[in-house]
Amino acid sequence: MAPRKGEPGRFLYRELAAEFRAQIQSGALAPGDLLPSEQTLMDGRGLARSTVRQAYDLLKAEGLAASKQGKGVYALNPKKIVRNAQKRLSREVWAAGRSIWSIDLEGRDPNAQVEVDADIEAPEYIAGVLGVRRVCRRRRVFSLDERTLQIATSYLPADLACEAGIDQADTGPGGMYARLADVDRAPVDAKERIRARIAMPDEVDVLELGAGACVIVIERTVTDAEGRILEVNEMTLDAARYVLEYDFKL
């Protein structure tokens, strides 16, 4: 039911958000379809601008809508990305030359903007974990269907990165784990630590998040057969778009 102006005790923005949420989830509003403009809803329904903005902010926080300057607010695919750490890091994936991202995205690979600093001074925390002062930093911004999914920054010992050829933007089939295996430093174990927090301003811009949105931060360390740490990777994900899935044998 469309919200009615002026009824005491009613949160009109929640009702407006519920109306469009139902349309997005049912497919009546397809991904990329524009939602009515603020002015349209103000003129057509007599709503306050603040009510419309609160409703749209709620949909953005839920990962159901996004906005772009000059375009307006548009619907997103309501389907969540299921991230299964065990499946995506399996040796069977990268050793076969597949991207670990293809597991998350049902066979699709995202677009990636890659920045590589081949040999830099390690931040203090990273130096403490890796036990080296010179590192290769690989920063990637992944997107799919013009929507940013994740920011990931990896640190590896600079000499190892150079030896394995992963100090370049393109690491080839299977990615950097396959290249590490090529120089007999194959990843064997991985550990992930997960936390959630409010997105920082730069993350809001890059991930195109709504006001007050949360992100999931995953820190992964990867070791070889001798227990030497190969990589520290910090990933920042839009919390509204992901489901984290783990398999356990009990």
Q: With 50 as the cut, is the pLDDT of residue 1 above it? A: no
Instruction: Convert the pLDDT of each residue in 106-153 to its tens digit.
Output: 888 888 999 999 999 999 999 999 999 999 999 999 988 778 889 999
Is residue 72 within 8 A of residue 28, CB to CB? The reply is no
Q: With 90 as the cut, is the pLDDT of residue 35 above it? A: yes
Alpha-carbon distance values, 193 to 89, 158, 161 (Å)? 15, 24, 24
Average pLDDT over residues 162-179: 95
Instruction: Convert the pLDDT of each residue in 176-194 to its tens digit.
Output: 999 999 999 999 999 999 9
Instruction: Please give the pLDDT value at position 4.
Output: 55
